Amino acid sequence: MLAVAALAGIAVWQAPAASASVPLQYTTNRYVGSAVAASYLASEPDYRAVLTREFDNVTPENEMKWGTIEAVRGQYDWSGADAIVRYAQQHHKTVRGHTLVWHSQLPDWVAALPADELRRVLRDHITTEVKRYKGKIRAWDVVNEIFNEDGTRRDTVFRQKLGDGFVADVFRWAHAADPHATLYINDYNIEGLNPKSDAVYELVKTLRKQGVPIGGVGIQAHLSTQYGFPDGYRANLARFAKLGVDAAITEADVRIPTPPDAAKLATQASYFGELWDGCQSVRRCVEFTTWGFTDRHSWVPDVFPGEGAACLFDENLRPKPAYFRINP
């Protein structure tokens, strides 16, 4: 399905004009999703058409984060989140809620609160948001990125003022607001076996023993071909499953040095393939979601200069080799 042309002696990948494959959502019994932005859904018909065709789950990129929902205390903006949920209902897709508690994209007014008030406001925030979408959200990323690379706890405002026990509390509050949603801890660089994934494993194990209603581990899977594929990926998925929780690939993309060429895209395809195959091999890996599906709107170039082209579709919404690797 790939065409390679010779240009100045360099192999250059040429995207097919259109996909002849079955849409991704029909290739597996896992949820297959993408992060989406409400503005692109509203303004770009081609973006909306590919999303609708290929995926059966959507994750709001920013529309459900605290900094968007309540940037000013007491002033709520549900417009973007409502639009995505409404789109999902209209097109029979599930929604992954992202994210309830995160140290980033947090309004300044929240961080300035004293401990007692912060606890009350945090509970109100979780209860208000989860109840608003009760029965409409399949899974929630309840706590996001709470560990450092060495496995120690990130020193966030929540930990500083509420202690480590806040993690159990927020899961209980979210469960009380919607008992049917699956509740996840979500983090990056926990794809393989390493100190950070060990810390997540031990926390989930402890929370489960305490009866905390944590139902899943979200593995972001922001990868780069400049580093080796994570060691122990499948074993890591399997050990989380043995704890009695689901696993999900929640934000997958694979960045490459730009500009892309055939060799770089082939390596990218192999990384996506390993992520996909590993998830398929573990029964409790229930979801494969990418962080956006088109290079047109990828976050990668702004954060990693010199890298990009991280998605399954190029800027013109043409499927790339990685798409065909997971959907032959």
Residue pLDDT, tens place only, 110-128: 999 999 999 999 999 999 9
pLDDT at 20: 52
pLDDT at 328: 82
pLDDT of residue 5: 28
**pLDDT > 80? residue 15:** no
**Whose CA is closest to 264, among 76, 58, 4?**
4
HEC sequence for 183-239: EEEEECCCCCCCHHHHHHHHHHHHHHHCCCCCCEEEECCEEECCCCCCCCHHHHHHH
Distance CA 41, CA 52 (A): 10
Q: What is the mean pLDDT of residues 227-238?
A: 98
> 12 - beta bridge partners?
5
Count of domains forming the chain: 1
Is 251 labeled as catalytic in the residue annotation?
yes
- Contact between 293 and 50 under an 8 Å Cβ cutoff? The reply is yes
User: Is the per-residue pLDDT at 284 higher than 60?
Assistant: yes
State mean pLDDT over 22-50. 97
* Distance (Å, whole) CA 102 – CA 144: 5
Q: What band does 6 get if pLDDT is binned at 50, 70 and 90?
A: very low
Position 73 in a domain: yes
Residue 200 lies in a domain: yes
Pairing of strands 94-102, 57-60: parallel
- What are the tens digits of pLDDT across the range 130-176? 999 999 999 999 999 999 999 999 999 999 999 999 999 999 999 99
Largest separation between any pair of C-alpha atoms in the chain:
66
- Of these residues, 129, 251, 274, 287, which one is catalytic? 251
CB 254 within 8 A of CB 284: no
Query: Which residue from 208, 184, 212, 192 is spatially nearest to 289, judged by alpha carbons?
Result: 184
Give the tokens for residue 206: 């402890």
Tell me the residue type at 225. Answer: T
Is the pLDDT at 250 greater than 50? The verdict is yes
CA distance 195 to 150: 5
* Share of residues in the chain with pLDDT > 90 (%): 93
> Which pLDDT value is given to residue 13?
46
pLDDT band at 14 (very low <50, low <70, confident <90, very high): low
Query: Is there a domain that residue 7 lies in?
Result: no
Residue 93: which domain range?
A: 19-326
- Is-contact 155 185, C-beta < 8 A? no
Look over the chain and give the mean of its residue pLDDT values, rounded to a whole number: 94
129 catalytically annotated:
no
Other beta carbons within 10 angstroms of residue 306's beta carbon come to 10
Report the percent of the chain where pLDDT is more than 70. Answer: 94
Query: Has residue 65 been placed in a domain?
Result: yes
**Does residue 3 belong to any structural domain of this protein?**
no
Considering Cα of 76, then 81, then 86, then 89, what sign does the dihedral take? Answer: negative
pLDDT the model gives residue 51: 98
Q: Is the pLDDT of residue 185 over 50?
A: yes
With respect to residue 4, please indicate whether it lies within any of the assigned structural domains: no
Say if 58 falls within a structural domain: yes
CATH number at residue 148: 3.20.20.80
Has residue 14 been placed in a domain?
no
Q: What is the pLDDT of residue 292?
A: 98
pTM of the predicted model, to two decimals? Answer: 0.93
Q: Which one is catalytic: 145, 191, 274, 287?
A: 145
Task: Give the position of tokens 């689901």.
Answer: 246
Q: Is there a contact between 208 and 214 (Cβ–Cβ < 8 Å)? A: yes
